[in-house]
Amino acid sequence: METYHCDKYEEAGLSFSFVQDNCSSSVRGTLRGLHAQISRPQGKLVRVTKGEIFDVAVDIRRGSPTFAFWEGVSLSADNFKQIYIPPGFAHGFCVLSDIAEVEYKCTDVYTPGDEIAIAWNDQQIGIQWPLESPILSPKDAAGQFLEALWDQLPDYQT
């Protein structure tokens, strides 16, 4: 199975370079995110190699006509779908299967001091997660609402 071919993505209008690959494994009910880097924003090409997740992208660019809008998609090892999360968007997912393994390619390196965590249940965003009481890491449980992060958010550039 071919999971990435730069020429085919470029033909589809997606031209970028990847500098880091990541893999995570989580159990059913885990919710990771919403995460974004500010001064070193990452684009992410996300796919699932085991199990199933509900994956979400949120536009957090101040001044964007789609600010705080979200898009969610089911990704699984069976459906072979991928999603590209552009720089300037927050990313998160929840695990729908017993275990899920998620792989993603990034357009910039992970920089821990540059990362923000947005509350998974921020009403301004209003994500309709397919679970009610997620398992959260301490970082994700401490996520802040967009309103509190306003001064840190990237500006929309046309």
User: Of these residues, 9, 104, 110, 156, which one is catalytic?
Assistant: 104
Task: State how far the Cα of 128 lies from the Cα of 51, in Å rounded to an integer.
Answer: 20
Place of tokens 């249940």: 121
Contact 53, 91 (CB under 8 A): no
Task: State how far the Cα of 158 lies from the Cα of 145, in Å rounded to an integer.
Answer: 25
Place of tokens 């390619």: 105
Active-site residue flag, 91: no
Measuring CA to CA, how many Å separate 81 from each of 6, 40, 62?
17, 26, 29
Active-site residue flag, 156: no
CA 53, 21, 111, 9 torsion-angle sign: negative
User: Of these residues, 35, 84, 91, 156, which one is catalytic?
Assistant: 35
Task: Indicate the helix (H) or strand (E) that contains 157.
Answer: none
Tokens, residue 2: 């071919």
The residues carrying an active-site annotation are 35, 104
